[in-house]
Amino acid sequence: MNPAAAPSSITIPEQLSRETAAQTLAAWQALDAEVRSRMHTPGVARMDQIAGLSGMQVFDAMFAGTIPYPPIAQTLNFTVSQVAFGRAEFLGKPVFAHYNPLGSVHGGWIATMLDSAVGCAVHTTLAPNKNYTTLELKVNYTKAVTDRIGMVCAIGQVIHVGGRVATAEGKLVGPDGTLYAHATTTCLIFDPLPAR
């Protein structure tokens, strides 16, 4: 799929019924458990494990458990749950350990989930032997996140991919469709640094 053909905005369902929200939460929890069952070890992939792989192939390897998943997923209790070309979704369980002094989940946790979703959306579009890094992340917080929500989903969608710069947008939603935050990113695409 060509990134130019990808939708430029993310559709979030209207507020859902309690029954539908409970079903969505149960489906997210089942998906999260299934993905985690295949991703056994946190770590950093060696260059020989990812050399010659496209962005999508890196995610395929991660989902297959042949390369480690990022340690931050374990630290912050979230994980990539689904990817497609130009799109990435993360599921996260907010817990009390993520709280700020004001009694809600710290904005840094939310920003990290969104940064992961929008960055990985860009990552899915990369050709073999290309890297990326975030140049800018803009987050708008629309509602407090607490551990009572159960689980949230960060959805990242590519807007544009060029030779050196890519942009993407993301939204963080609850199982009932509530929007908690939204973000945009600009990423730099570059060739890997030579081995030392």
Give me the tens of pLDDT residue by residue for the chain, a chain 196 residues long. 333 333 333 444 445 566 799 999 999 999 999 999 988 789 999 989 999 999 999 999 999 999 999 999 999 999 999 999 999 999 999 999 999 999 999 999 999 999 999 999 999 999 998 999 999 999 999 999 999 999 999 999 999 999 999 999 999 999 999 999 999 999 999 997 665 5
Architecture in CATH of 3-190: Roll (3.10)
SS3 154: strand
Which residues is 158 bridged to in the sheet? 168
How buried is residue 125: exposed, middle or buried, by Cβ count under 10 Å (0-12/13-18/19+)?
Answer: buried
- Could you tell me the pTM of the whole model? 0.88
pLDDT for the residue 107: 97
pLDDT for the residue 195: 59
pLDDT for the residue 165: 98
Angular region, 140: left φ>0, alpha ψ -120 to 50, beta rest: beta
